[in-house]
């Protein structure tokens, strides 16, 4: 039996609708996992955004209330002695309560604060104490104007004039005066020592005035008065002038013009030649050796009034002695001299530094032998001075071969006692004056 057209159209419509429903169901089943994952990711993104907003809110509150931010600072050291026993926690809390007895305003007076409130008071007092300590430390780090105390002035001026070096200069001048032939004149000797000491103080003060920016870079000289600002440059120059003028006047009119001229020459050589040459050439060591050789010559001319062979002999001994002394000292200070910008033999020519030191150690033996030939000492002096001259020559040879700090230190410390002992031996072996009175007048 054939189907009617109406029945056929209804069947077709029902089939199309069912196909659409089946297609939609199938597509929903295929896309449901992707939709779920997408929704889950959106939820995660929203959760992370919420955490970020919460963090930003806390940061904003912290910036508005800085007291909520924990400040970690070093606890100030206790004032009490470390040998005393530490107090217990209960005693510490009692002391804190005694120092800060004010309770919070919200608490009633009849109720005692509990342990939590005590801990809050304790932490607040510790934070305030650390803040005060931090302010004090910041105030201490600021530059402060140094006030010169009158009681500290002698010590500052003594360091400005290099009092130890000045004492060595005066002692070598005295040795030259005592070794000169002729009678010993005490007033002339005192005037010579005083004038030479004042001239040395003036030269050393001017030297420090010129070398302030370079001394500040060296560990050995960074604590000098001008570098630390203990005195003003004007005061240093004034002090140098007040030493130079009377010193040269005493040597010129109190002793003799030749000694005064040598004093002026030595001040000029030290301040205007040796000081700037230290940053230019290694020749400064030889110029500095001449500066150290002039004081015994001044002592000789003060006693005799003339430049004799004995004066040049004493000058030669001081000249040669300074090379093992200074070269050994500068060997251990090479880093300092390099940092300060000084052109020293030990920095730029280390092999030459050791060679020159050994050469002049051996020269001391020859100079000691020449002393009796020039009628300064007897022939006993070369014999009794030979052991110490051989010993310093041996140390100079070890310094030349080893080239280390240990050998340079031994040579330096040997030079400290070698010179006084050598001059003392010369004085004990001084040739007696000839009959008829040899030598010139003490003053001319």
How do residues 287-312 score in pLDDT, each as one tens digit? 999 999 999 999 999 999 999 999 99
**In CATH, what number is assigned to the domain containing residue 195?**
1.10.357.140
Are 410 and 292 in the same domain? no
Identify whether 92 is part of a domain.
Answer: no
From 305, 329, 353, give the residue that closes a domain.
305
Q: Are 312 and 335 in contact (CB under 8 A)?
A: no
Identify which of 189, 166, 190 has the alpha carbon closest to the alpha carbon of residue 178: 189
**In CATH, what number is assigned to the domain containing residue 368?**
1.20.120
3-state secondary structure of 430: strand
**Whether residue 46 has pLDDT greater than 50:** no
**pLDDT tens track for 67-113:** 444 444 455 555 444 444 444 445 544 544 444 444 444 444 444 45
From 249, 283, 305, give the residue that closes a domain.
305
Q: How many CA atoms lie within 13 A of 235 on its CB side?
A: 13
Identify whether 97 is part of a domain.
Answer: no
Q: Are 371 and 426 in contact (CB under 8 A)?
A: yes
Are 262 and 369 in the same domain? no
pLDDT at 427: 95
Number of independent structural domains in the chain: 2
| CA-to-CA separations, 137 to 126, 131, 315, 326, in angstroms, rounded | 16, 10, 55, 42
Are 278 and 153 in the same domain? yes
Identify whether 177 is part of a domain.
Answer: yes
Q: Which range of residues forms the domain containing residue 335?
A: 308-432
Average pLDDT, the chain: 79
Identify whether 347 is part of a domain.
Answer: yes
pLDDT at 11: 53
Identify which of 194, 151, 144 has the alpha carbon closest to the alpha carbon of residue 174: 194
Element (H, E) at 90: helix 89-99
**Whether residue 352 has pLDDT greater than 70:** yes
**Whether residue 161 has pLDDT greater than 70:** yes
Token pair 């140094």 is at which residue?
Answer: 146
Are 362 and 374 in the same domain? yes
Burial 401-432 (b: 16+ CB within 10 A, else e): eeeeeebbbbbbebbeebbeebbebbeebbbe
Identify whether 292 is part of a domain.
Answer: yes
Are 294 and 160 in the same domain? yes
Are 192 and 296 in the same domain? yes
Are 211 and 282 in the same domain? yes
Are 297 and 352 in the same domain? no
Are 190 and 261 in the same domain? yes
Quick one: what percent of the chain has pLDDT higher than 90? 57
Quick one: what percent of the chain has pLDDT higher than 70? 64
Are 203 and 289 in the same domain? yes
Identify whether 79 is part of a domain.
Answer: no
Identify whether 218 is part of a domain.
Answer: yes
Are 413 and 319 in the same domain? yes
Are 166 and 288 in the same domain? yes
Identify which of 199, 288, 213, 309 has the alpha carbon closest to the alpha carbon of residue 252: 199
Identify which of 168, 170, 177 has the alpha carbon closest to the alpha carbon of residue 311: 177
From 241, 270, 305, give the residue that closes a domain.
305
Identify whether 388 is part of a domain.
Answer: yes
What are the residues facing 377 on neighbouring strands?
430
**pLDDT tens track for 318-342:** 999 999 999 999 999 998 898 888 9
């Amino acid at each position: 039996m054939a189907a009617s057209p109406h029945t056929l159209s209804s069947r077709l419509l029902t089939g199309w609708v069912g196909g659409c429903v089946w297609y939609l169901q199938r597509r929903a089943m295929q896309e449901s996992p992707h939709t779920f994952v997408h929704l889950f990711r959106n939820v995660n993104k929203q959760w992370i955004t919420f955490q970020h907003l919460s963090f930003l809110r806390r940061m904003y509150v912290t910036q508005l209330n800085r007291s909520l931010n924990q400040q970690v600072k070093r606890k100030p050291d206790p004032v009490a002695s470390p040998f005393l026993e530490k107090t217990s926690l209960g005693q510490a809390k009692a002391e804190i309560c005694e120092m800060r007895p004010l309770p919070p305003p919200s608490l009633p007076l009849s109720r005692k604060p509990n342990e939590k409130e005590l801990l809050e008071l304790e932490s607040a007092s510790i934070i305030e104490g650390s803040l005060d300590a931090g302010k004090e430390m910041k105030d201490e780090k600021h530059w402060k104007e140094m006030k010169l105390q009158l009681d500290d002035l002698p010590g500052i001026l003594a360091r400005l004039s290099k009092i130890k070096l000045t004492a060595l200069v005066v002692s070598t001048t005295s040795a030259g005066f005592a070794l000169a032939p002729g009678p010993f004149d005490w007033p002339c000797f005192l005037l010579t020592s005083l004038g030479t000491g004042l001239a040395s103080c003036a030269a050393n003060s001017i030297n420090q005035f010129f070398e302030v920016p370079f001394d500040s870079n060296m560990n050995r000289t960074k604590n000098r008065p001008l570098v630390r600002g203990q005195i003003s440059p004007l005061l240093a120059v004034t002090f140098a002038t007040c030493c130079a003028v009377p010193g040269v006047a005493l040597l010129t009119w109190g002793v003799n013009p030749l000694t005064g001229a040598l004093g002026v020459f030595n001040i000029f050589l030290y301040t205007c030649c040796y000081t700037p040459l230290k940053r230019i050439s290694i020749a400064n060591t030889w110029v500095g050796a001449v500066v150290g050789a002039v004081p015994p010559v001044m002592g000789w001319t003060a006693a005799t009034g003339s430049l004799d062979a004995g004066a040049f002999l004493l000058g030669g001994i001081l000249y040669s002695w300074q090379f093992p002394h200074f070269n050994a000292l500068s060997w251990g200070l090479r880093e300092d001299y390099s940092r300060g910008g000084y052109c020293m033999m030990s920095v730029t020519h280390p092999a030459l530094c050791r060679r020159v030191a050994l050469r002049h150690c051996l020269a001391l033996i020859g100079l000691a032998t020449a002393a009796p030939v020039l009628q300064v000492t007897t022939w006993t002096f070369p014999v009794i001075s030979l052991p110490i001259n051989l010993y310093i020559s041996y140390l100079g040879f070890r310094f030349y071969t080893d080239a280390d700090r240990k050998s340079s230190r031994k040579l330096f410390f040997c030079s400290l006692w070698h010179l006084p002992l050598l001059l003392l031996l010369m004085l004990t072996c001084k040739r007696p004056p000839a009959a008829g009175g040899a030598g010139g007048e003490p003053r001319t």
